[in-house]
Amino acid sequence: MKCKIELNVEITLTPDEQHAINWVEAALNRAAEVEELPPVEVSVTIVDNERIHQLNKEYRDVDRPTDVLSFPLWEPDEEWVIDEEEERVALGDIVISLPKAKEQAEAYGHTLDREVGFLAVHGFLHLLGYDHETKEEEEEMFAKQEEILSLVGLHR
């Protein structure tokens, strides 16, 4: 397993929501393989809109809920530090709003499984330094996301 995931769920889940959350591990492990990473560790926290709104305001000064936030533990120009005890690189934290994921799955006409997988991979790629500030960056990042999601069977 390339990616060790510490999953924290701060809300009560229905069986369908739990099923969707189960895709996080497969999607992030495939992302780590596609990116040819050494063994890595990521924390993923599932929250409600209120909590992600609070984090978005506190860390990004954006006063609204969002779908996913990423908090890398390193800067792109730094070398990775391998935790000798774990023998893994700690990449950082991903926070996903499950209510926002549900809204977006419905709006985009695909499954909650697909949306949760998408948000997890999107956050993971941000931890690796990918961004979508320019058209070129967006095309590269979104193509990578689609490749990874397709490989785990989460199609549109």
Parse the chain into domains and list their residue ranges.
3-151
Q: Where are the alpha helices (DSSP H) in the chain?
A: 15-21, 23-34, 49-60, 98-108, 112-127, 135-151
Give the integer Cα–Cα distance in Å for 32 and 34.
Answer: 6
Residue 98, amino acid? L
Please give the pLDDT value at position 87. 83
Please give the pLDDT value at position 78. 76
DSSP state of 81: P
pTM metric for this prediction = 0.94
- Residues ≥6 apart with Cβ < 8 Å to 20: 101, 111, 112, 113, 115, 116, 117
The dihedral built from the CA positions of residue 103, 106, 107 and 113, taken in this order, carries a sign that is positive
Please give the pLDDT value at position 79. 74
Please give the pLDDT value at position 110. 93
Please give the pLDDT value at position 88. 87
Annotated binding-site positions: 122, 126, 132
Token output for 43: 């924390």
List per-block mean pLDDT (blocks of 10 residues) for the chain, which spans 156 residues.
Answer: 91 95 96 93 97 96 96 80 76 97 95 97 95 92 96 90
DSSP element (H, E) containing 12: none
Domain 3-151 has CATH 3.40.190.10: no
Three-point CA angle 20, 23, 28, nearest 5°? 140
Please give the pLDDT value at position 56. 96
Annotated binding-site positions for Zn(2+): 122, 126, 132
